[in-house]
Each structure stands twice: as structure tokens, then as C-alpha cells.
Amino acid sequence: MAGHGHLHQVRFRIIILGVGCLFFAGLIAWKFYTLQISRHDELLEKARQHYMYRKMIKRKRGCIYDAEGNLLAGNLPRKAVICSPYSIVHEPFVHLEKSLKPGVRESVPARREKRRRDVARILAGHFNGSESEFYEMLSPFVPRRDSRKRPLLDENGKVQMRKNQFVRLAPRYENRIEVESAASDRQVLEFCNALKANKISGSGFAFEEMYVRFYPKGRMLASVLGYANVGVESTEELGGLERRLSKHLQPVDRVIMYERSRSGKLLGYGESTVVENGRDGMDVYLTIHETIQAVLEEELDAAQKEFDVDAIYAVIADPRTGNILAVSQRPNFDLSNPGKLNNEMLSFKCAVNAYEPGSVMKPFTVGKALDWGIISPDTMIDCGTSNVWFYAGRPLKDFRGYGLMTPGGVLKKSSNIGTAKIALMMGEDRVARMMRTFKFGVRTNLPFAQETRGVVPKLPFPDKLTITRAPIGYSVQTSILQLTRAYCALANGGFMPELRIIDRRWDPVNNRMLKEPYFSPVQTFENPRMVKELVEMLISVTGREGTARQAAIPGYEVAGKTGTSQKLSRDPVTGRMRYGSEYCASFAGFVPARNPRFVMVVTFDRVRGAKHGGGNVAAPVFGRTMSRVLQMMNVPPDFPDKLPK
């Protein structure tokens, strides 16, 4: 019996041991299953993060060209300089902290401090920045911060610190070595040699190829182009087309994953995977012609020196297509030396600012009155023998009493009284319809941020005075772009095109040119024959007895209209808005008058002085600019015998 009981105990133990082995075998099998199958992808990705190196190859931002392919905004190759302060200052001495030799561990803080100051001194000698700036950057530990950039605290109220492993070396220039590519390579070599001479490892530094934005024309089209500050980590886009066309211009960087050894070296035989193939940004071609733009820039520079004015805006367009051939404003900025630019400084005021245009509105009032048969070219308008006419209890003035005049005479002498009386004959509904017809109060939808709609009085007009003021360019506000679009209609037989500044785009993915669409021009006159009558009247404005004599160009017929409007300002005593001693002076015209190639509108904002009228300020700028443009573009003259010898 005793032997039988002992055998029973042995069997029981064997069973227990077998069950235990099976349990542990199952546990191991379950663990293997979890690691190798159910969590395989998760763990493989974690492992790949340790032995795979993610390399980004920078692609080029899209370039901007003029209509003929002249570069306006491009890219230059540079080397991005990046360092890891933790790897440079702290990590090389970690093994010494574990030393048991007397004095070695205690010397580590001093050695780290010396290394930090030595590296800061070398950086200051080769890159943009002071030694003290680089010393601060080389701190091996920095505070952890939340999404609002506030330091994170631990449970004891102390600031949490993290390893500082990525620092830009030249913050003033977005960590770019601002030299040509060959000189950049030489500068990097000199820097590496300086590190070796001071027995400092270069393993904490990285030099990556990148591109920086390049503006070869400097001030030309500065507010139109805007500014793109291309950095290593991000791109800051300020104003203009650089910002509005960002989705077309921005590249997608090529991303490749490489297998590396434990020491960090890339393995030539290891795995490599293209994560993102990447692409260059789209190239954009504008409707701008650099030769015409250069002339406009030079003439506006000269005008800015000649007149006491806050700002100047000018646009030159092709009236048949609506293509903007040149556009500029003053003040201006040099994109090749940007300094501290911001969106406000780069704001494209030609699109953003609206102003009371003054008498450049009169051709639209007279033109539609002719079109609707309210007046004829021979209708006599009583402008009075006095230079003052009262309506709704308020005075309206002319330069002098003009008596009876035809509509052509009203435009030639720019009679406020004559135009207001024509508007009264039209009535409120038709005056409002006239402004809608020429799209005043409607954006041009060019690719510029915050384009103004302008201000157009709504029906019914707010007071009895508006019907006499809006038709002469008061009580209404417009941008210079809207004026340009409207004058294109007068120059183009009544057909008004939509303005264009983007002509085409090059798609690097599909290797094809994408043409920006044209929109069919809209006829603004019910009786197009009256447009020719109106053009004849506008030609007389630039004649000997007109207000725009200085817009005349020898050998060419010029049609156009001057405009002068007082600027509203706040009375320092009463605090009320009133018209003061500052003016907007404008000229809008087209040439050659009967077969127009160019429409130009130029406006001086807040011009001061005795000669503040559009005929004295804006008309001469039109004449000088268009005279040069006509010759450069080989436009045949109307009267060859009258060309200057």
C-alpha cells in the first residue's frame, strides 16, 4: 500500500509539472503571437524609428516670370546649417561623469562650459550672429513648453527640461549662409577646419542643401510679388502673389527612409524606401511686361521726388484683353534687401485702397447719357455765367462760368455744374445703373488679399445732393483697378474685359502649360456708336484748350480725363470730417485714341501744394510714361510728321 501511495504522489507531481509546462509554453506562445503577429506593425515601426533615417530632399518653390519669361522671383541653392547643442556640449562628457578617479567628475561642468564658449566663438567667426547669441543657443537643455509656448512644470513646481537637439545657427537670415553656392561650400569647409583645429567633433552639426527665395529685380513689382522667406522648417509668406498663390508655388519635398547602423552611419546595402516622391512648385507667368514695368517704375520714382505726395498708384493695361502690363505704387520696397517687412508694408494698395476719384468719373456719366439718348453730342448744357451753382442748398463750383456748352465742352473744361445737370436729366435710377454697368463697387477678383469693393450709393440715394456729387466722382469710392477696368471699356468700343495678371502656369507633374482663362468682354453700351462720339470728346481733353494738355504725346492722339478730389480729414477742433487742403490727383486715358494699345490710370494720393490738380500732377506722368512705352513697343504714330526730331 505504501508503494502504491508513493507512486500516486509521483504521478500527481508529473501531472502538475506537465500542466505548468503547458501553461508557460502557452504563455510564451501567446507572447510570441502578440509580438510577432498582433503587434508586429506597431513594434516594427518603433524599431524602424531607431535604425531608419528619414532624409528630406528639398524641392524648388515655383518661380514667377513676366509674360516673356524674364525671372521676377526665383530660387538660389544654399546650405542650411543645423546643430544639436546636446550632442556638442553635453554628450561628449557623459562618460567622464561616471569616472571614479578623483577630480575627473568634478571637472566636467568646467569642461562643458569651455566647450560651449569655444563653439560659440567659432560660430561667431563664420556665421551671422554674435558670440553671446550663439552661447545662448548652445544651451544643452531647454524648457518643455505647451502649445501656447508656456513652460511646463513638474509635480514639485519646477520647470521640466528636455534635450536641445535642433538649433538654427543664423536666425537673422533664417539659418542660411548668405553667399553664393560655391562660396557657401568654402565657408562650410573653413568652419569644419576650425572645429578640427580646436579638437571639437563635427558630429553635432549637419549641412543640408536647400533653396532660398531670390528677387533679381529688387524694387520692381515688390508689392505685387510679396515676399517668401523660405526657411528650413517652414516658409513665411508675406503679401502679394507669394501668399495668394501659395498652393501653386509651394513644393512638396522628397522624403526617403534609409537603414543605418547603431553608430548612425547609413548602410549602403540596407533598406531604403521613398515615402514621398515630392515635386517642385508650379512656375507662374504673369501678364506683366518687364520693359513696360521698368519705364513705369522709373517715372514714378521721378514723380515721387517732384511732388509732395503720400502715395502714387499706377496701372497700365491692354484694353482688348484686360491684361495688366505694368502696375506699381509708391512707397515701395526692395525685395533683395527686405529687412523687417510685414504684410502691412507689402499691402498692394492698388487693390486695397478706395478713394473718391473726382472728375475721371465724368466720361461715364456723359457716355451713358449719350447712350440712352438723354442728350446728343449737340445738346447745349447751361453751365451758368457764374462759377457757383446751388442745388439742395449746397454750392457746386466750376473754375469759371462756362455758359452754354455741348457735352464735349463739359468734358473738355471738366465742368462740375454741366455734369451735375446732365445727371439730373438722367435721374437717380439711371445714375445708379450707370455705376453698376461699369462695375464700380465690384471687385476685380485679381489674386490679391483684401481687395476693396469701393463705395457706391444705393437706391434710393441717401440725400438730394448725391445725384449731383456721385456723377462727378464724389460720394463714390473706387480703386485704381476698378477705374482701369472701366476705362478699358471706353477704349475697347464699349466692351469691358476682366482684368488679368496671371497668364499661365507650368505644371511640373504633368509637364504641361496651363493657360489661365479669358472671360468674354461685356458690352457696356446699348448704342456702341456713341462710344466713338465719347472718344472724340476725350481727345479734346488733351488738346490745347483741355484740362489735360500735359498728357499729350507728339505724333499720337491721346484720349483721357483728369480728376482732382479733395481728401476728407478730421477737424482738430470740432472732430468732424471735412474736406481739407490735401487732394487726390488723377489722370486716366488711352493711346492711340482711335486704335488703343494701352490704357493707363495714375493717381496721386494726398498731394499738397499749389499745383495739386490732375492736369498738373498726373497728366504729365501719363505723357512721359506712354511716350516712352509707345516708342519701345514700336507702336505706329498717328501723325509721323509730328514726331520729335
Domains of the chain, by residue range, sit at 64-99+107-249, 290-332+349-642
Check residues 163 and 476 and name the one with the higher pLDDT.
Answer: 476
Mean pLDDT of 223-252: 84
At residue 381's C-alpha, the angle toward residues 378 and 387, to 5°, is 145
DSSP state at residue 432: H
At 614, is the pLDDT very low, low, confident or very high (cuts 50, 70, 90)? Answer: very high
At 109, is the pLDDT very low, low, confident or very high (cuts 50, 70, 90)? Answer: confident
Mean pLDDT of 476-500: 97
User: pLDDT digits over 346-361, tens only?
Assistant: 889 999 999 999 999 9
pLDDT at residue 150 is higher than 80: yes
Query: Mean pLDDT for the chain?
Result: 86
The x, y and z cell numbers of residue 159, run together, are 520647470
20 — phi, psi (to 5°)? -65, -40
Question: What local confidence, expressed as pLDDT, does residue 174 receive?
Answer: 38
For residue 637, with 0-12 CB atoms within 10 Å meaning exposed, 13-18 middle and 19 or more buried, which class applies? middle
Residue 240 CA to residue 228 CA, distance in Å, equals 10
Residue 546 CA: distances (Å) to CA of 67, 339, 474, 540, 542 = 36, 46, 21, 6, 5
Mean pLDDT of 251-275: 63
For residue 191, with 0-12 CB atoms within 10 Å meaning exposed, 13-18 middle and 19 or more buried, which class applies? buried
88-95 LR contacts (CB < 8 Å, sep 24+): 88/115, 88/119, 88/138, 88/140, 88/200, 88/201, 88/204, 88/205, 89/115, 89/116, 89/119, 89/138, 89/139, 89/140, 90/140, 90/141, 90/163, 92/201
Residue 241's nearest CA partner among 453, 486, 65 is 65
The x, y and z cell numbers of residue 350, run together, are 492698388
At 182, is the pLDDT very low, low, confident or very high (cuts 50, 70, 90)? Answer: very low
For residue 516, with 0-12 CB atoms within 10 Å meaning exposed, 13-18 middle and 19 or more buried, which class applies? middle
576 — phi, psi (to 5°)? -90, 155
Question: What local confidence, expressed as pLDDT, does residue 180 receive?
Answer: 44
At 25, is the pLDDT very low, low, confident or very high (cuts 50, 70, 90)? Answer: confident
Mean pLDDT of 1-15: 69
Mean pLDDT of 83-90: 86
The x, y and z cell numbers of residue 70, run together, are 524674364
pLDDT at residue 561 is higher than 70: yes
**What's the gap between Cα 148 and its chain centre?**
28
Mean pLDDT of 551-574: 87
Question: What local confidence, expressed as pLDDT, does residue 35 receive?
Answer: 65
First-to-last alpha carbon distance for the chain, in angstroms, is: 143
DSSP alpha helices (H): ranges in 342-478?
A: 349-352, 362-371, 407-413, 416-426, 428-437, 466-469
User: What 3-state DSSP class applies to 208?
Assistant: strand
| CATH classification (class only), 64-99+107-249 | alpha beta
Question: What local confidence, expressed as pLDDT, does residue 233 receive?
Answer: 55
Check residues 46 and 373 and name the one with the higher pLDDT.
Answer: 373
CB atoms within 10 A of CB 611: 12
The maximal CA–CA distance of the chain, rounded, in angstroms, is 150
pLDDT at residue 42 is higher than 70: no
Question: What local confidence, expressed as pLDDT, does residue 162 receive?
Answer: 87
By the 8 A CB rule, do 483 and 573 touch?
no
Question: What local confidence, expressed as pLDDT, does residue 209 receive?
Answer: 74
pLDDT at residue 540 is higher than 70: yes
User: What 3-state DSSP class applies to 10?
Assistant: helix
**What's the gap between Cα 90 and its chain centre?**
43
Q: Which residues are CB-contacts of 334 (< 8 A; sequence separation ≥ 6)?
A: 218, 219, 222
Residue 169 CA: distances (Å) to CA of 77, 85, 208, 608 = 18, 11, 13, 48
Question: What local confidence, expressed as pLDDT, does residue 40 receive?
Answer: 66
At 514, is the pLDDT very low, low, confident or very high (cuts 50, 70, 90)? Answer: very high
Mean pLDDT of 433-459: 94
Do the strands 64-65 and 283-286 form a parallel or antiparallel pair, or are they unpaired? Answer: parallel
Residue 178 CA: distances (Å) to CA of 135, 159, 194, 212, 233 = 21, 37, 19, 9, 17
147-156 LR contacts (CB < 8 Å, sep 24+): none
- Highest-pLDDT range among 71-80, 97-106, 275-284, 615-624: 615-624
Question: What local confidence, expressed as pLDDT, does residue 164 receive?
Answer: 85
Residue 326's nearest CA partner among 347, 295, 299 is 295
Question: What local confidence, expressed as pLDDT, does residue 100 receive?
Answer: 66
Q: Which residues are CB-contacts of 197 (< 8 A; sequence separation ≥ 6)?
A: none
At 52, is the pLDDT very low, low, confident or very high (cuts 50, 70, 90)? Answer: low
- Highest-pLDDT range among 91-105, 150-164, 565-579, 599-613: 599-613
Of the chain, the percentage scoring pLDDT greater than 90 comes to: 55
Mean pLDDT of 228-257: 81
**Residue-wise DSSP of 319-350:** TTT-BEEEEEEES---TTS--S--TTTT--HH
Least confident range of 105-109, 385-389, 474-478: 105-109
User: What 3-state DSSP class applies to 120?
Assistant: helix
Question: What local confidence, expressed as pLDDT, does residue 38 receive?
Answer: 72
User: What 3-state DSSP class applies to 49?
Assistant: helix
Mean pLDDT of 603-612: 88
**Residue-wise DSSP of 496-550:** EPPPB-EEEEEETTTTEEEEPPP---EE--SSTHHHHHHHHHHHHHTSTTSTTGG
**Residue-wise DSSP of 226-285:** -EEEE-SS-EEEESHHHHHTHHHH--B-EEEEEEB-TTSPBPTTS-EEEEE--BPPPEEE
The x, y and z cell numbers of residue 204, run together, are 553635432
pLDDT at residue 232 is higher than 80: no
By the 8 A CB rule, do 152 and 160 touch?
yes
pLDDT at residue 201 is higher than 50: yes
Question: What local confidence, expressed as pLDDT, does residue 206 receive?
Answer: 75
- Highest-pLDDT range among 38-47, 182-191, 498-507, 573-582: 498-507
Question: What local confidence, expressed as pLDDT, does residue 176 receive?
Answer: 39
Residue 203's nearest CA partner among 143, 99, 119, 128 is 119
Least confident range of 40-49, 145-154, 415-424, 439-448: 40-49
Q: Which residues are CB-contacts of 324 (< 8 A; sequence separation ≥ 6)?
A: 287, 288, 315, 316, 317, 446, 484, 499, 500, 501
By the 8 A CB rule, do 630 and 587 touch?
no
For residue 233, with 0-12 CB atoms within 10 Å meaning exposed, 13-18 middle and 19 or more buried, which class applies? exposed
Q: Which option is the CATH number for 290-332+349-642: 3.40.50.300, 3.40.710.10, 1.10.510.10, 3.10.129.10? A: 3.40.710.10
User: pLDDT digits over 288-346, tens only?
Assistant: 999 999 999 999 999 999 999 999 999 999 999 999 999 999 999 888 877 777 667 78
pLDDT at residue 528 is higher than 70: yes
Residue 627's nearest CA partner among 557, 562, 554 is 554
Check residues 127 and 70 and name the one with the higher pLDDT.
Answer: 70
pLDDT at residue 172 is higher than 50: no
By the 8 A CB rule, do 479 and 453 touch?
no
